[in-house]
Amino acid sequence: MTYTVVFMGTPKFAVPILEALIADPNYQVKAVVTQPDRPQGRKHVLTPTPVKVAAVAHDLLVLQPEKLAGSDAMAQVMAMVPDFIVTAAFGQFLPTGLLEAAKIAAVNTHASLLPKYRGGAPVHYAIMNGDAETGVSIMYMVKQMDAGDVIDVVKVPITAQDNVGTMFDKLSLAGRDLLLATLPRIANGDTTPVPQAESEVSFSPNISHAQQNLNFAQETAQEIDWHIRGLYPTHPAYVQVGGQRMKLTQVTPLPETTTLAPGHIVARTKKLLTIAAANQSVVQIDQLQPAGKSVMPIQAYLNGAGSHLAAGQQWAEEPSHE
């Protein structure tokens, strides 16, 4: 039997999931709903979402409502009466009427181990909080955000080398495989959905500009590492250095300690820069991006703009409150 599907998603994370449904002969994707094209980059070029690019490549019907509720796109989807509505990081609430239009089920592929990290940035928070693992939950959709009963989960370890980019790639493939294994079970009534424990709910709201600002006086070396990896490459973290914004893209927490004040240079050689952080901890700067420049290894920075630096100097300044 072939099941009809309306797919709803927006970022790169959702693309392998969509493409798997397209490639599987058991499913017919009737339409793809994604966010409208948005201006991107310094030149504000109107850019389609990754999901739209994939859908267009497969000649699928693409719907892009600014707001789904009450839209023509919603009416079109409801008129299709699909077997499944499948979402993956779509970015909008689905009205109850739309959820009920699915003949079998409306399900969401959510990149966390629910009920932990409901919301729009679950992968960011998992890494920023130093979690050892995260995962993907397949859940029935309800009108409340990420609150439906969980059908199945898959766990994925977070390594010391992972950042948001690498984890999105891993979770996307894990979610793809879990969804394809779960949909037939849903169709056959072979699932035991688990209600989410409200006492264990936590949230992951979209990343704010203020969250990108590192604070060496309040964060230990390990916390700085988690902070940077939890934002890169989607929302790079930064410090103020010489009054300029310096993005930090890769660091290493060191086992040593220091009596220097946070933000001061502990050691500086031709290839090494270490900085004091909170609780007398020390972090090694491996890769950074000065304002208006490309990402560079620390050696390139020390040979150029950082050639004047010396141990004992203040490097990372107090966070700005813009």
Closest CA to 156 of 133, 175, 127, 131: 133
Secondary structure of residue 220 in the 3-state scheme: coil
pLDDT tens digits, 102-142: 999 999 999 999 999 999 999 999 999 999 999 999 999 99
Residue 230 CB neighbours (<10 A): 27
How far is residue 137's CA from residue 156's CA, in Å, rounded to a whole number? 11
Is 178 marked as binding a ligand? no
Q: Please give the average per-residue pLDDT across 205-220, as a whole number.
A: 96
Confidence band (pLDDT; 50, 70, 90) for 321? low
Is 184 marked as binding a ligand? no
| Structure confidence at residue 191 (pLDDT) | 95
Q: Report the share of the chain in percent with pLDDT over 70.
A: 99
AA letter at 27: Y
| Structure confidence at residue 320 (pLDDT) | 65
How far is residue 35's CA from residue 51's CA, in Å, rounded to a whole number? 9
Is 18 marked as binding a ligand? no
Is 113 marked as binding a ligand? yes
Q: Which residue has the tokens 């004040």?
A: 261
Q: How many CA atoms lie within 13 A of 253 on its CB side?
A: 20
Confidence band (pLDDT; 50, 70, 90) for 143? confident
| All domains in the chain, ordered by first residue | 3-204 (3.40.50.170), 212-314 (3.10.25.10)
pLDDT tops 90 at residue 319: no
